[in-house]
Structure 1
Amino acid sequence: MSGGHRRPHPDNGVTRRGLLGLAGLGAASSAGVFGMWKAASRETPLAVSGTPTSTPSAPAPTPAPFTGADPAKLGGTVPFTAGKAMLGSYLGLDGMTYPEAVKLRRGQIGRDQRITHVFYAWEDPLPDRIEGKPKKSVPMVSWRGPKYGEILDGDADDLIAAAARRLRDLDQPALLRWGWEMNGDWYRWGGAKNDQDTEGYVKCFRYLRKIFDDEGAENVSWVWSPNWNSSPRKDWNRIDAYYPGDDFVDWVGISGYNLHRETPETLFDPIYHKYAARRPIMITEVGSKDYGGTTKADWIRQLTAYVEQRPAIGGVVWFDTDTHPSYPEHWRLDSVPDAAAAYREMAGNERFSG
């Protein structure tokens, strides 16, 4: 997710919101740099928001979860717990160190986040500790990628192995979300910037996992995380063309923001219905625009009800920040008091006690 606006895309005429990509955060050993932005590359990534949706669509039948998998083995080393969803966030608040922001949120919602979401550039050392992270919180590392050839030619093997050893040294279960939103045209690791080579993405994902396994990073659960819709909307760029396979994916993630009055059903049901029978689902990035009045709080309550009705959802990660460069939205959960109250209700809901 990033900042800025973009005119309608010529491929399909759908209004898009441009987003400056999340930069790799500085070394996690320094609390002061944890919430700072750092240039990860010279590209200007963008993100899709999609067709405005003002009214909910008719609900589709909810598939029975995990009909094709052993529930006891779901989620890898960050296991899925039936009936429970971990509630977490990417947390970056203006003028606060990360530990200060964690303390503020603990007081506001009455609990700590269960997932600590951090972003790193491809070239950055991945964290071997995260200062200020709540003790029982699971790290989720979103790791940017290069062009596919830079992985598959073997020249990055030492970099990948070093990354694996650092996550291994976290000495706790961790989520790794490599190359997210690959079905968009805004990141250099997306198919659109790699000659429409979706199979190249699959090969990279599997290649990284093999090196991590070889380095003994057995504490890592792998998150495959597309955007909720694809850009461009072409057959070659369909989401399932990027799926590395059940043997390589522990969690299926999804990014989706309420930018044009999209409902949670619009944002998340296509992925849910395609993969919930096979893998636990995690909403890895989510936020809501405030349209005035109680609209943001209402949407948070819609999201709560949505997750309650989808048993395969095992995690929800809010994009809790007001430091997004060049973007007018404050995605932080307390941008208005009633939104903070709705989020506190969600945090206290038994469904989110994972």
Structure 2
Amino acid sequence: MLALGLVLTLAACSSGAGDAHDITGHGSASASGPTAKPSPSGRTATLSKAAYLLPHGSYFGVATFHAPARATTDAAAAAAGRHPRILEYYQGWDEPFSAEDAELSYEQGALPLVTWEPQGRSRAADQPQYSLKKIASGAFDAYIITFARQVKATGQPVVLRFAHEMNGDWYPWSEQHSGNSPGDYVRAWRHVHDLFQAVGSTQVIWVWSPNVLRGTKNVALEPLYPGDQYVDWIGIDGYGFGEKTAGEVLQPTVDTVRRFSRKPILLTETGSAPGPQQAGWTADLFRWIKSTPNVIGFVWFQHSQDEGGQYDYRFDIDPRTRAAFRQGLESLALSPWPVTRQAPQ
């Protein structure tokens, strides 16, 4: 149960009491926060959060540049020969939650996975105005509470990936930047989670998503983990950069995570850089998923370099990789869409 002080704080924020916080980094915002985009009418009811947590089969997801736009979903589905059941997209803290985008995902037979980045429009690694200390201390409560209520109003499960790749040194929410200190990440995560719980936004699927250990300067994962009571899925981001197998990229991180949690694992970003190894790496990814317990699926980062990828990760630019991808999906028992509506086949 939340402390009385937190509940009183929520009440004050919801009534507009107190000073307005600068939630965008571009000037003052009202205490009630930005206005959510309305959800289309006539929405079909979905199942509860619990129906999605342990899928019957593997999730196939994509993160496309314009997700969840239908055109990019349809293009990925046509190339893959299967329809994605997760659509991942990104937003910073200068944006409200879009109920319209979440509903558009559902209309396409896919869970919305929102990667929620506590930063403004800048992509600088150091942004002290969005420090973890400020988040944990309540400086952004007005924005977070409004966001949580907007999510709740959809009446549908939403996958929320807050402050991903925290073990790297390339984002402002790294404990190495923005005036952050060890322990600040966990405190910020728990504070955000508790605010959602306090307003009754309990259908969120919380995804804690580190980068694979490679390239993170030996940053320990366990001190960054908020705890099983604050996390539903563990997301892992890992890409092939010339390795022959996906297992050598992903398995060391999975082994590390399993020492402190048995939560289901979703690959929340994956892909392979172009080159002669790409098709083989892609084929091995599907073998690895099939043979690794507790991995419930993957999201392929379907972006070119012009669209923000470090490399062109699109699986359909090389015919051999596209064939490996399609064959890999055929080999998996993919999760059916678990909602009570007609979904694309």
> Into which bin does the TM-score normalised by the smaller protein fall?
0.7 to 0.9
Shift of 1:349: 2.5
Shift of 1:99: 1.5
SS at match of 1:87: strand
Distance 1:345 1:231, change over 3 A: closer
More helix by share: 2
The one-letter amino acid of 1:124's match is: E
- After TM superposition, the structure 1 = structure 2 runs for residues 122-133 of structure 1, keeping only pairs within 5 Å, are 122-130=93-101, 132-133=104-105
Residue from 129, 132, 135 that aligns with 2:108 = 135
- After TM superposition, the structure 1 = structure 2 runs for residues 253-332 of structure 1, keeping only pairs within 5 Å, are 253-261=235-243, 263-276=245-258, 278-292=262-276, 295-322=277-304, 324=306, 329-332=311-314
Count of equivalent residues = 277
SS at match of 1:151: helix
Does structure 1 retain, via aligned residues, the 8 Å contact 2:65–2:307? Answer: no
Match of 2:171? 187
User: Which one has the largest radius of gyration?
Assistant: 2
Distance 1:196 1:76, change over 3 A: farther
1:79 has 2:61 as partner: no
Distance 1:326 1:205, change over 3 A: closer
Match of 1:151? 135
- 1:330-353 CA-partner distances (Å, limit 9, x unpaired): 111201112112111222223333
1:215 has 2:199 as partner: yes
What RMSD, in angstroms, separates the aligned Cα atoms of the two structures? 2.6
1:117 has 2:88 as partner: yes
Match of 1:174? 158
In structure 2, C-alpha distance between the alignment counterparts of 1:275 and 1:318, rounded to whole Å: 21
Distance 1:76 1:266, change over 3 A: farther
SS at match of 1:89: strand
Higher RCO (C-alpha under 8 Å, 6+ residues apart) = 1
Q: TM-score, normalised by structure 1?
A: 0.71
Identity over the aligned pairs, expressed in percent? 28
In structure 2, C-alpha distance between the alignment counterparts of 1:111 and 1:309, rounded to whole Å: 21
- 1:155-195 CA-partner distances (Å, limit 9, x unpaired): 21010011112222332211100000011111000111155
Does structure 1 retain, via aligned residues, the 8 Å contact 2:132–2:180? Answer: no
Distance 1:232 1:101, change over 3 A: closer
Residue from 225, 231, 245 that aligns with 1:249 = 231
Which segments of 5 or more consecutive residues in structure 2 lack a partner in the other structure?
A: 1-35, 40-48, 119-129, 337-345
Does structure 1 retain, via aligned residues, the 8 Å contact 2:221–2:257? Answer: no
The one-letter amino acid of 1:302's match is: D
In structure 2, C-alpha distance between the alignment counterparts of 1:323 and 1:28, rounded to whole Å: 30
- 1:131-169 CA-partner distances (Å, limit 9, x unpaired): 753532111100012311221221210100111122223
1:227 has 2:211 as partner: yes
